Structure 1
Amino acid sequence: MSDDGTGFLYPFLDARERDPGPLLADLAASAVAKAAESARLRRETLAAHADALARAADEMARRFAAGGRLFTFGNGGSSTDASTLAALFAHPPVGPALPAWTLTADQAVLTALGNDVGFELVFARQLIARGGPDDIAIAMSTSGSSADLTAGLAEAKRRGMFTIGFAGYDGGAFATSPDVDVCFTVASQSVHRIQESQALLGHELWRAVQSRRTEAA
């Protein structure tokens, strides 16, 4: 096995065995361990953030009722997670659709801003153009410290938007920033486990907002 501490992830890469039995057993054990860790972390994360989820859902429901809109953004894999979250609100499997967009959807806008004003401002500049005081901004990240995300949240806060940060590890800059109204931190060192728990948090946030919107109708 690799001595860099990652061999357990893909034991077949360094396998020396000709007999597939031990290799298959290692693979099965690895999959079971990852699934158990993911389930445990998701349960603990939801429990740890129950009050914050309720507070965020209350405020989001109030803002949607007042005509507010949701804008999500992130980098890399967190960009796809942000897109998925926006799509859940805009095109829900059940319940009313709510106005939601991801700021990474338009390649022309992203590349123009990156080229003309710098990548750090690709989200902040979009919020200057589109964001208003009744709106909501959600930044998704594993580190919680990416410069373009913190700049976007700072601009959102300046414009009176309700701001939410999804982060991993210890929360990074999101956890202590005055520009973040609610921070959901997944306490893990694994990017995979962080994003799995963030996906569940996002779904629970959507479900809670839908519940409040239904009750108010």
Structure 2
Amino acid sequence: MSWNSSLQVLSTVLSGMVVTDKSGAVIDADAGYALLVKWIEACRQDRRRVYFVGNGASASMASHFSTDLAKNAEVPTEVFTDCSLITATGNDFGYEQTFAYPLGQRMIADELLIAISSSGNSPNAVAAVRKAQELAGRAVTVTAMSPDNAMRGLGDLNFYLPAESYGMAESGHGVVLHHLIDLFCD
């Protein structure tokens, strides 16, 4: 594939983003971002945390955007990418609990989880979204690939990209999350 072809595919993926609310209703992307900013602002004001989770490249994004949000918006954030935490939790409770277990120890009502998964089918990210809701927190999903992936409709707010490859999903998710950070930098 040529460079221009890749740019066209990424542009198509980004322009095809679908944002839905908890009921599954499609909402305008800017309205979705405005709601997410409102929730993050509430966390900042009340010194509540925004948590980020993801696997592989999505774990790197979780760490990156957790840092950017803390630095640029002065919001308390936490990311579960510490290898000791992941391996101990996975060993003792199963890999599916690598995010849900520590989230269950930390999250309080009205805090926010941002769960990133290219496939939208990562069992540990799905479990984290469900745990956040059990704890009266809010959950935001950032997914791609199959339109009927497991996470796409689980969040209070869901950002879905119709990417067909991990490269396009990950590149698109980077743009989606950078736009969020940019909203705090204007």
By the TM > 0.5 criterion, same fold? yes
Residue 21 of structure 2 is aligned to residue 45 of structure 1: no
Residue 101 of structure 2 is aligned to residue 115 of structure 1: no
RMSD of aligned residue pairs (Cα, Å): 2.0
Percent identity over the alignment? 22
Instruction: Compute the TM-score of the two structures, normalised by the length of structure 1.
Output: 0.75
Q: Any stretches of 5+ residues in structure 2 without a counterpart?
A: 20-27
CA deviations on 1:82-139 (whole Å, 9 max, x unpaired) are 11111111223xxx422112111x1111111111111000101101111111311111
Residue 174 of structure 2 is aligned to residue 202 of structure 1: no
Q: Any stretches of 5+ residues in structure 1 without a counterpart?
A: 1-7, 9-29
Q: Is the 8 A contact 2:54 2:125 kept in 1?
A: yes
Q: Which residue of 2 aligns with 1:22?
A: none
Q: Which residue of 2 aligns with 1:175?
A: 152
Give 1 or 2: higher strand fraction. Answer: 2
Residue 86 of structure 2 is aligned to residue 85 of structure 1: no
Distance 1:194 1:103 in 2: 21
Deviation >4 Å, runs of 4+? none
Map 1:90-169 to 2 at 5 A.
90-92=70-72, 96-104=73-81, 106-169=82-145
Secondary structure of 1:174's counterpart equals coil
- In structure 1, give the amino acid aligned to 2:70: A
Give the superposition deviation at 1:168. Answer: 0.1
Distance 1:46 1:99 in 2: 28
Give the superposition deviation at 1:46. Answer: 8.3
Instruction: Compute the TM-score of the two structures, normalised by the length of structure 2.
Output: 0.86
Q: Is the 8 A contact 1:165 1:183 kept in 2?
A: yes
- In structure 1, give the amino acid aligned to 2:3: A
Secondary structure of 1:176's counterpart equals coil
Distance 1:175 1:107 in 2: 27
Indicate the structure (1 or 2) with the bigger Cα radius of gyration.
1
Distance 1:176 1:91 in 2: 30
Give 1 or 2: higher helix fraction. Answer: 1
Residue 5 of structure 2 is aligned to residue 33 of structure 1: yes
Give the superposition deviation at 1:142. Answer: 0.8
Task: Give the paired residue count.
Answer: 177
Change (3 A) 1:151 1:133: same
- In structure 2, give the amino acid aligned to 1:101: E
